[in-house]
């Protein structure tokens, strides 16, 4: 395991943190080894099938890499593709970085190095880097706030930091530093107003600051945040929508109270705002983020953790407007929910943000990746009549590389530390080394989560040490499907969470969603957590008209759906009244081992030679939502009808 590099990076961060709101920081992917039965195979598929797809589409089937080569040749060639296509190269590079850290694949690393050489050759002498303007005229650069220049630059910075963490190579990092310095000179140092049409650079600058120890990049991120809401936004997107709220530019960031506009832009902005708030100690960002977050999870969050109900603006509509078959729920937005909620957890030390992160990760985001790793969803509906199918690629190809980088970087989200405690944030088979005063402790998780709620945590300190271990108790395990308000369980959780230390049951208190276990830890200590995995029914508020007289099946962190492939002719023409019986059982979906759920439901069938219909019992099979649409086009429902009046007869 490569610990040394990440520890150096974390040391660099410490010098920047003059003030903090909460001292929690997450252990980076390069310090975590995942051998989980659920996630390790997915990471392997991303490192092979998904990366193969990204490399083929980026380098061979589309002109994305070719544009960089044209810039380097200086022969007056024309740009091909869309003005933001550079970002897909950078996101793919970032995903490669995590995959290289996970697999040590020399072929993948050689491809990344070759791409980095091409990118570096395309950088302008003053540090500027954007193939669209280098090929179409540098005199037009930084004139249209919607042309994604800062967005592309941000993804380059994220890729550079990830590749440096994964390999120790700094060629791309040096490119990112020169570009960041160019942008800093152009805007912050010149006091030139600029509102990024598509946010992303704000969070990326904080990553670059942590990696380099350069505080100017945090100042630049804050400068960009503070430009919003003052009428500086100009360009196509403001003219097209005639609504600054589309790009979160209607009011200053610290004054924002509700979620608006394009969902992915919002997630990247609020992730950056939380990052800057944590780095600077500015509580104004935390106050605003808390209000916006409450609006998202209380009125605008799908039960899958997806966000953005409207395809018209790829974002948010009115409160409680959460249609199912027409749900947009872009994969990138669910990925952004993971980013933002991680930062909010670090900012506040509150486990409810990790609850939402987990919901988005296992459902809304993971649904964007096929079980084979080489087909993708852009939008993720919660119902279908067979018109939805996964695709090999997209013209705007943000989602494939985005879900690839999330799955590959999963180690970033499992463990955290602060001045008082170690944190187990996600239950994923893995190991890491955490600090405890002047010593270190090796921590290893063994689990079959999410199929089983049993988690074994082995504690191996270098020497006995008194410290606190905080284990997140998921809201679903304590009876809260998401922070209370929008959704609720039909029945109360009766089975308690159990914790044993060295085989002995212990009592524990729960604060902000974490069980607190303080003791002197010795080599060989074990903590066993038993989470109840009963099948639960989730209901929505009455204001969500699409879900009236309907319910959702959830088991552990997973939301389930009924798909036509498992239930021929029955994916819509059934209902499940109160008191329906459920049974979880092992099953396979396109070769994927899952726990499916058998439902004893009711349906309508023709009788008396078709002259009437009658109510008959039906046995249905529900599968995890993330696994649907992997066996061809078929009907599907997440929100199941409770009463006959909600049934569609087909």
Q: Tokens 């303007």 sit at which residue?
A: 133
**Whether the bond into 450 is cis, omega within 30 of 0:** yes
In the structure, what pLDDT confidence band is assigned to residue 30 with cuts at 50, 70 and 90? very high
416-530: CATH number: 2.60.420
Average pLDDT over residues 460-488: 90
Catalytic residue list contains 398: yes
Tokens standing for 16?
């920047």
Q: How far is CA 195 from CA 146, 248, 269, 482, in A?
A: 9, 10, 11, 33
Across the range 481-490, mean pLDDT stands at 82
- What percent of the chain stands above pLDDT 70? 94
pLDDT band at 614, cuts 50/70/90? confident
pLDDT at residue 13 above 60?
A: no
Over residues 308-321, the mean pLDDT reads: 90
Alpha-carbon distances of 482 from 24, 562, 650, rounded to whole Å: 22, 22, 33
Residues 6+ apart with CB under 8 A from 498: 505, 529, 530
Cα–Cα distance, 8 to 530 (Å, whole number): 36
Q: What is the pTM of this model?
A: 0.95
Catalytic residue (choose from 109, 314, 358, 563): 314
267 in Cβ contact with 339 (< 8 Å): yes
Q: What is the mean pLDDT of residues 234-246?
A: 77
Cα–Cα distance, 145 to 285 (Å, whole number) = 23
Q: Mean pLDDT across the stretch 627-634? A: 95
Q: What is the pLDDT of residue 47?
A: 97
Is the predicted pLDDT of residue 583 greater than 90, yes or no?
A: yes
- Please, what is the Cα angle at 330 between 325 and 335, to 5 degrees? 135
- From the candidates 54, 332, 398, 399, which is the catalytic residue? 398
Q: So where are the chain's domains?
A: 4-413, 416-530, 549-646
Q: Is 471 left (phi over 0), alpha (psi -120 to 50) or beta?
A: beta
Average pLDDT on 5-26 reads 49
Which DSSP string do the residues of 414-429 spell out, in sequence order?
A: TEEE-SSEEEE-S--S
Is 4-413 a CATH 3.90.700 domain? Answer: no
pLDDT at 522 over 80: yes
Instruction: Using alpha carbons, list the distances in angstroms from residue 581 to 534, 560, 620.
Output: 12, 15, 11
pLDDT tens, position by position, 121-175: 999 999 999 999 999 999 999 999 999 999 999 999 999 999 999 999 999 999 9
Residue 314 annotated as catalytic = yes
pLDDT of residue 121: 98
pLDDT tens per residue, range 43-96: 999 999 999 999 999 999 999 999 999 999 999 999 999 999 999 999 999 999
The average confidence (pLDDT) of the chain is: 92
């Amino acid at each position: 395991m490569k610990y040394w590099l990440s520890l150096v990076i974390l040391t660099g961060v410490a010098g920047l943190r003059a003030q903090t709101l909460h001292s929690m920081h997450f252990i980076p992917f390069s310090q975590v080894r995942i051998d989980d039965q659920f996630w390790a195979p997915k990471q392997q598929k991303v490192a092979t099938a998904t990366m193969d797809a990204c490399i083929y589409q980026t380098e061979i089937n589309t002109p994305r890499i070719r544009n960089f080569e044209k810039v380097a040749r200086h022969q007056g060639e024309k740009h091909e593709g869309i003005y933001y296509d550079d970002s897909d190269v950078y996101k793919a590079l970032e995903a490669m970085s995590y995959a290289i850290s996970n697999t040590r694949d020399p072929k993948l690393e050689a491809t990344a190095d070759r791409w980095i050489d091409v990118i570096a050759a395309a950088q302008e002498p003053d540090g500027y880097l954007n193939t669209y303007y280098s090929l179409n005229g540098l005199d037009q650069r930084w004139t249209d706030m919607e042309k994604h220049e800062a967005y592309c630059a941000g993804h380059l910075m994220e890729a550079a930091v990830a590749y440096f963490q994964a390999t120790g190579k700094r060629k791309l990092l040096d490119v990112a530093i020169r570009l960041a310095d160019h942008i800093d000179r152009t805007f912050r140092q010149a006091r030139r107003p600029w509102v990024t049409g598509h946010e992303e650079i704000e969070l990326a600058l904080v990553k670059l600051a942590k990696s380099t120890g350069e505080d100017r990049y945090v100042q630049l991120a804050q400068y960009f945040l503070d430009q919003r809401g003052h009428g500086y936004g100009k360009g196509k997107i403001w003219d097209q929508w005639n609504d600054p709220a589309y790009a979160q530019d209607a009011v200053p960031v610290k004054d924002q109270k509700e979620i608006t506009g394009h969902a992915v832009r919002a997630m990247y902005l609020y992730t950056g705002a939380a990052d800057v708030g944590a780095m600077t100690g500015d509580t104004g960002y935390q106050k605003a983020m808390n209000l916006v977050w409450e609006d998202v999870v209380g009125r605008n969050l799908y039960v899958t953790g997806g966000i953005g109900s409207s395809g018209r603006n790829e974002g948010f509509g009115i409160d409680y407007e959460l249609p199912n078959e027409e749900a947009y729920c872009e994969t990138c937005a669910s990925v952004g929910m993971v980013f933002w909620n991680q930062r909010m957890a670090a900012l506040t030390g509150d486990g409810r943000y990790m609850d939402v992160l987990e919901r988005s990760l296992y459902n809304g985001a993971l649904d964007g990746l096929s079980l084979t790793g080489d087909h993708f969803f852009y939008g993720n509906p919660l119902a279908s009549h067979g018109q939805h199918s996964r695709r090999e690629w997209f013209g705007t190809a943000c989602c494939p590389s985005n879900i690839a980088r999330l799955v590959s970087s999963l180690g970033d989200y499992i463990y955290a530390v602060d001045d008082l405690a170690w944190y187990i944030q996600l239950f994923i088979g893995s190991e890491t080394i955490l600090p405890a005063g002047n010593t270190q402790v090796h921590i290893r998780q063994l689990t079959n989560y999410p199929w089983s709620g049993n988690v074994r945590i082995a504690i191996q300190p270098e020497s006995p040490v008194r410290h606190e271990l905080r284990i997140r108790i998921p809201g679903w395990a304590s009876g809260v499907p998401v922070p209370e308000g929008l959704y609720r369980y039909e029945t109360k959780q009766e089975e308690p969470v159990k914790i044993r230390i060295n085989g002995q049951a212990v009592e524990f208190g729960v604060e902000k969603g974490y069980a607190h276990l303080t003791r002197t830890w010795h080599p060989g200590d074990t903590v066993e957590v038993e989470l109840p995995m009963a099948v639960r029914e989730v209901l929505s508020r009455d204001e969500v008209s699409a879900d009236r007289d309907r319910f959702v099946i959830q088991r552990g962190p997973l939301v389930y759906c009924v798909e036509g492939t498992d239930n021929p002719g029955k994916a819509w023409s059934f209902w499940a009244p109160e008191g329906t019986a459920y049974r979880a059982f092992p099953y396979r979906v396109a070769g994927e081992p899952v726990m499916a759920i058998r439902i004893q439901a009711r349906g309508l069938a023709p009788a008396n030679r078709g002259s009437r219909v009658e109510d008959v019992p039906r046995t249905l099979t529900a599968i995890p939502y993330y696994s649907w649409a992997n066996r061809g086009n078929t009907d599907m429902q997440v929100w199941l009808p409770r009463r006959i009046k909600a049934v569609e007869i087909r």
